[in-house]
Amino acid sequence: MEKVVVGLDNSKNSFQVQKLGKNPKNRKRKKWPHLTMKKKEALTGMAFVTPVMIGFLVFTAGSMLYSLYISLTDWNMLIEPKWVGLKNYINLFTKDLHFWDYLGNTIYYVIILVPLVLIISLFFAILLNKKVKGMTPFYRACLFLPCVVSTVAVSLVWKWIFNSTEGMLNGILTALGVSNPPGWLSTTKWAKNSIIIMRIWQMSGYYMVMFLSGLQTIPKTLYEAAIVDGANKRQQLRYITIPLLKPTTFAITILLVLEAFNIFEVVLVMTEGRLNTSSLMYYIYTLGFEEYKMGYASALAWVLFILILGFTIIRIVTKKEDKM
């Protein structure tokens, strides 16, 4: 359809009628006219994700593949890597007694640390989920603050607190009448437990916030209906709160297991692996950066990766079975 434009011609003092044909310049061009809206959204999303994926492939996936190659070699970072095949893995499981000891320590950290942090963080989340004007934000900030502080700095403070002779904790126990306070970081009996106490104090606030976000998604009408039916607080917790927090609990459990398996800074600062406190991650550090057995350390790192991956897969499978 042709458009007609009427204008005043100043030279002839008369009106002039001009017909505009189908000129391509007069039409607004569409970008990517052959793409649907769904494809455009997908391309936009890929454009935003691409830089992150490039960084992951170069700095994470590439490093992992290179460490897999290094695990099959004998390399001290001073000479060229020497190919040894599966020798590092065979020695790890058959000749290295330290591996089994440190694996036991790591599993001990996982078994004790994960349930305690789950229970304590859930307890504080339920406690602080009630809105008390002025006080609730303050206590939430106080509990969340330890996870913001550097783990090395916190470990140094707790190392002084756990000092057997000059530490604050034993000073308080002595003032309360305890004649023989524990040797927290000086005995094998208490060293691992001291590390666990410190990590519980540091980690609980972070996971408390995650539980808080899960609690606030539960409709209040469910609790109101339960109260009308005569349910007490314990029954509300058992039949409403805990079942509806399963997705949050699942995510927190995976994150806690990852942290427990990778426990390192606390061991390095507080005990330096002494008193049977060394974890697999600390053993990897000592092998690679103190003894320069980088090939052997890489093999151990891959074993640790497979352990964590195996637990994660088992946890996901059990979650699916629970849904069924």
Considering the domain architecture, whether residues 62 and 159 belong to the same structural domain is answered as no
Q: Single out the residue of 80, 102, 78, 79 nearest to residue 92, CA to CA.
A: 102
In a domain, 83, yes or no: no
Claim to verify: residue 154 and residue 8 sit in the same structural domain: no
Residues 145 and 257 in one domain: yes
Is residue 78 domain-resident?
Answer: no
202 and 270 inside one domain? yes
Does some domain include residue 76? no
Is residue 79 one of the residues assigned to a domain? no
CATH code of the domain covering residue 316: 1.10.3720.10
Beta bridge partners of 4: 19
Q: Tens digit of pLDDT for each residue in 265-292?
A: 999 999 999 999 999 999 999 999 999 9
260 and 207 housed in the same domain: yes
pLDDT bucket at 199, cuts 50 / 70 / 90 = very high
Q: Let me know whether 54 and 11 are in one domain.
A: yes
Q: Which of 35, 70, 105 is the last residue of a domain?
A: 70
Query: Bridge partners of 74?
Result: 82
Taking residue 210's Cβ as centre, other Cβ atoms within 10 Å add up to: 18
Verify that 119 and 265 share a domain, yes or no.
yes
Q: Is the domain of 60 the same as that of 94?
A: no
80 lies in some domain:
no
Question: Does residue 140 share a domain with residue 110?
Answer: yes
Using one digit for the tens of pLDDT, what is the confidence trace for 28-57?
A: 555 556 677 888 888 888 999 999 999 988
At residue 163, does pLDDT exceed 50? yes
Instruction: Supply the pLDDT for residue 291.
Output: 92
Same domain, 57 and 136: no
What single-letter DSSP state applies at residue 24? Answer: G
Q: Is residue 82 part of a domain?
A: no
307-316 LR contacts (CB < 8 Å, sep 24+): 307/261, 308/257, 308/258, 308/261, 311/257, 312/254, 312/257, 315/250, 315/253, 315/254, 315/257
Burial 286-310 (b: 16+ CB within 10 A, else e): bbbeeeebbbbbbbbbbbbeebbee
pTM: 0.82
In a shared domain, residues 66 and 94:
no
**Is residue 61 domain-shared with residue 99, that is, in the same domain?**
no
Domain count, the chain: 2
58-115 per-position pLDDT tens digit: 888 889 999 999 999 999 888 899 999 999 999 999 999 999 999 999 999 999 999 9
Domain with 291, as residue range(s), is 88-323
**Which residues in the chain belong to E strands, given as ranges?**
3-9, 14-20, 73-74, 82-83
